Structure 1
Amino acid sequence: MEDYSEIIQKAKELSDLVNSHEITIRYKESLEKLQKDAQSQRLLAELVRIGREVSESMNSPEADKSYGVAELDMLKRELDANMFLKDHLVIQRQYLDLISQVQKRIKNPGN
């Protein structure tokens, strides 16, 4: 039977590095604030819903390209007025980029 203890130890070290990274800390703090902000949660849920619906309609052969334009404009105005949610989305993107970089490094350790 192979000994995976070194791999497990390295995985724990990597996990600790990611969890202690400034971007991860900022993202977790932002998530905690988001959980306490019902208005931002509602706006984020609406943005996700509309984005999904627009994406699905764009992939449909009978797509109406003007789908949801008024609703998107309204949501954009709300987002522009909600600095916390805008900042949260930036932090979320940075966190997802960090995770993506870690995944790429794991797949190609020599690069």
Structure 2
Amino acid sequence: MSYEEIFILGWNLNLLMFFINLVIAIRTMNQKSREQLLEENKILTELKMEFDLYYPYRRYETLVTYLIPFTAFFRMSYRIIEMLSFFSKNRGSTLIDYMIYKYKSDIELAKNRLK
């Protein structure tokens, strides 16, 4: 297998993860009403603003992971395993519950590092 084939395979796996994320997001949005989505968006916006204070370059980091072969695939595979583990431990929880948990835990981690 040549380096070119390895890179193409890595980018294809990154693209696969992008589409899996897109399907999960669309499926989650279709299960909720407009009012529920607006309320959840308000909560997540507040957490995201605080998160951006501690991780200002996170958006660029995410973009770069999709450009480097295999990086997004491994990163998102880990996140999906983490999410499934969260759902198995917290029966009846939803994706929004996981997102709130993840934002809060990352914010607390950043706060503890600054101390």
Question: TM-score scaled to structure 1, two decimals?
Answer: 0.31
> Which structure's relative contact order is higher, taking Cα pairs within 8 Å and 6+ residues apart?
2
Using the size of structure 2 for normalisation, the TM-score is 0.31
